[in-house]
Structure 1
Amino acid sequence: MTSSRTAVAVAFVVNGALYGSWAARVPALADQAGVGTGGLGLALLGPSVAMILTASPAAKACARWGARPVLAVCLPAACLLLPVLGLAGSVWTLGLALALLGGLMGAVDVSMNIGAVAVVHQLGRPLMPVFHAGFSFGGLAGSLGAAGAAALAVVPGVQFAVVGAVGLIAVLVTVRAVPGERTAAEERPAGGYREVMARGRLWLLAGVAVCAAVAEGACAEWSALFLVDERGFGEAGAAAAYSVFAVAIAVTRLTGERAQRRFGPYRLLVGSGALAATGVFLAAVVPSDTAAYLGFGLAGIGLAFCFPLAMDLAGAAGREPGGTGGERELGFVTTIAYAGLLGGPPVIGGVATLTQLTVAMAVAGVVALLIVPAALGARRAGRTEPARPGSTVDIAG
């Protein structure tokens, strides 16, 4: 019988694999649809906007019916839609398919995080970074599969059909073990967002998530161009630096339970933010190949815990005596974090246009450093905020 921990982990891995699979084939999708740079930029805007629009309704649905039904509908639907994306033949069909897929994945992201918070509560173990490691490794597997498909000249539609089928089978086998389905007695209206928005701690946790998202997006989307244009790297060397960053995040997240037990969530956030900023500054300021690889590696290690811990603490902030709750809080923080994912890379690009990429990467380092005061403020706010009945928020550390 599948455990709730395994079921939630499968959801994270499948969601990461879906994302890694299509994101790595964007050039092939653009060629297939005959889309230029401008049209592609608009098409890629669709999934980010859709994720923002679906995060809050998904959280409300989870509050009313539980995480399991939402995940059981949206993740299989995303697996089925992925092959459709591979058939896109114009900018309009590509944009529509990406927007629909982004909306579904946004709902999946919220519901799987709510399920993860429930598992953390049930087991009494700080497993959120470990679950997010599943997403990271799923994304790596999806991108490696996409690279292999591209090398073998396999069209995106065929590759996506295989990935979607494997993901669908994995989800259907395990999804019934995802925790969070409410009984009729537990169902409650999903309103009350005004009360959620009035809580300073949640705004500060959202700030942590936004800063982490912007810094991670800058390293992921701008590091290669920065190293080629400003440091004279070849394309292979620049790609290797990004791989160091991505693998550092994935591997570090596997150590999340031990690290959180030792330092506590808030100390870990403070240290992680400082380490991430140090890494980005090192890569941006020191003109050395070694500094670049070391810097992006340190940035990956530092950023590995920030987003998962923000989600964990947000969900725990709404925890109720019976082990349910936290959906509105997590949905609120996730929605704001997605805005960071949407706006961060263009802002970094704008700074680079007005100045140079070195300055833009340094700005990303400043953003990462802002995680430190935001985490300290959230800890302080958690101590002064009136306690909710049954809340299990861990403000130690």
Structure 2
Amino acid sequence: MVAVLVFFALNGVVFGSWASRVPALAAQIGAQEGALGLSLLGASVGMIAAASVTGRLTASFGARRVLGLSTLASAAALPLLGLAPSPLALGLALVLLGACVGTFDVAMNVAAVTVIRATERPMMPIFHASFSFGGLLGASGAAVAAFAGLPPFQHLLIVSGLVVVALAVFVRQVSDEVRPAEAVTTSTGPAAFRRPVLWLLAGVALFSAVAEGASADWSALFAAEYRGMSEASAAIVYGVFSIAMAVTRLFGERAQRRFGPERLLVFGALVGGGGLILTALAPSAVVTFAGFALAGVGLAYMFPVALDLAAAAGRRADGTGGERELGFVTTIAYSGFLAGPPLVGGIAHLSDLAVALGVAGMIACAIAPTAIAARAAAKREAVTV
């Protein structure tokens, strides 16, 4: 269990390290906002492409092997961002890094499912809390590097070295599911596209990604330009959202045991969506802090619980399986991270950012009926099997 928690944290460290150096990378390639935005899309494109096949890779070769290789590949790709001389080169480097991290992401979630089944504990939110804290650690390290004047290449090379060391220490402690030979060769992938429950769970993850992306990408700008906060205070708004999400995930096992995954999704959707809508409607700095905190609390469980249910939907009679189903839902969710920022930006361009955040809040609220429909679909499948 500890080893898998470490890999979730490492994934967060990799993401937080490069994402926090975007201003320095923009200066490095001399890009304006438009060209930089196109370059940054490369990471999402790579992640979507990789997630669509990683479920099959882990089913064939085991999560530990795929996790180890993808972590090593992520460490190798990370410093390349610091060598990119142009927007095109940065975009291509991000496609490569996104593919490595996307594979890393799905493999670590499959490894987490193995731990959950072995311990019979609903720990997926706790694993994702480790990712959140890893992201905060990566961002903190990036801030220190920027303050010290380290260029992105040197900073990211140091991060890569630390990731490789952690990989060498912990990779052998990651367990693979023990499966009979016939289970390995049994194909369940095509069934994912024909199962309503998986499309509905993918919808939960997709809506969560859009709302989470809107909160992460636009909270500071909204606080500064629409609520009159200073740049420092606006940055704290994003920190409040991130920390609220990370801390809430630590209590995920207890919450899931008490309320069940479906109720947790419904309740969280209403809290998170309500927080964003409240923020959009109330012209108050205090409410802005409270609204984004509620968004962090409410959205904390959406993505990990959806993945947990997807893996459960793919579980075979021998207790194994779910890799392809988890990969399918993850792929759909990544499209939300890709489409979310331009969606919010487009609505803000046509109206204003408050309206756009309100729409993101309504999308988050839509998780509630989608989760209820997913539960009904799962019950229908159980009856027909």
Alignment TM class, shorter chain as reference:
over 0.9
By how many angstroms is 1:167 displaced?
1.1
Code of the residue aligned with 1:87 in structure 2: it is: L
Verify the 8 A CA contact 1:318 1:388 in the aligned structure 2: no
- 2:278 alignment partner AA: L
Note the alpha carbon deviations across 1:147-173, whole angstroms, 9 max, x for none: 111111111111111111111111121
Runs of 4+ more than 6 Å apart: none
| CA pair 297-207 structure 1, distance change in 2 beyond 3 A | same
Cα offset, 1:183, TM superposition: 6.5
Aligned to 2:135: 139
SS in 1 for 2:122: coil
Q: Describe the superposition over 1:77-108 as per-residue Cα deviations: whole angstroms up to 9, x where unpaired.
A: 10122122222222232112111000000011
Q: In structure 1, what is the equivalent of residue 365 of structure 2?
A: 369
Give 1:180 deviation, angstroms: 2.2
Aligned to 1:154: 150
Q: State which of 318, 324, 330 in structure 1 corresponds to 2:320.
A: 324
Q: C-alpha distance in 1, partners of 2:45/2:325?
A: 20
For these two proteins, the number of residue pairs brought into alignment is: 385
Look up the match of 2:221. 225
SS in 2 for 1:292: helix
Alpha-carbon shift at residue 187 of structure 1 (Å): 5.9
- TM-score w.r.t. the length of structure 2 is 0.97
Question: 2-side partners of 1:246 and 1:152: how far apart?
Answer: 25
Give CA deviations for 1:12-48 in whole Å, capped at 9, x if unaligned.
0000000000000011011112222222111101110
Instruction: Give the percent of matched residue pairs that are identical in Structure 1 and Structure 2.
Output: 52
Deviates more, 1:31-40 or 1:113-122: 31-40
Q: Counterpart of 2:174 in structure 1: which amino acid?
A: V
| 1:385 match: secondary structure | helix
Aligned to 2:113: 117
**Which residue of structure 1 lines up, in the alignment, with residue 54 of structure 2?**
58
Q: CA deviation at 1:387?
A: 6.2
Deviations 1:119-149 (A, max 9, x none): 1000000100000001000000000110111
Partner Cα distance (1:182, 1:104) in 2: 25
**Superposed, which structure 2 residues align to 1:168-247 within 5 Å?**
168-180=164-176, 185=181, 188-189=184-185, 191-247=187-243
Report if aligned partners of 1:78, 1:104 keep a CA contact under 8 Å in 2: yes
User: Any gaps of 5 or more consecutive residues in structure 1?
Assistant: 390-397
CA contact 2:50–2:103 (8 Å) conserved in 1: yes
Higher helix fraction (1 or 2) = 2
Q: How far apart are 1:388 and its partner, in Å? A: 9.3
CA contact (8 A) 1:67 1:111 kept: yes
2:340 is equivalent to residue 344 of structure 1: yes
Q: TM-score, normalised to structure 1's length? A: 0.94
Asked if structure 2 preserves the Cα contact closer than 8 Å seen for 1:285 and 1:358, the reply is yes
Q: Give yes or no for contact 1:279–1:299 (8 Å, CA) kept in 2.
A: yes
Q: Would the aligned equivalents of 1:279 and 1:297 in 2 still touch at CA under 8 Å?
A: yes
The runs of 5 or more residues in structure 2 that have no matched partner are none
1: distance between equivalents of 2:74 and 2:61? 20
Could you say what secondary structure the match of 1:32 adopts?
helix
1:31 aligned to 2:24?
Answer: no
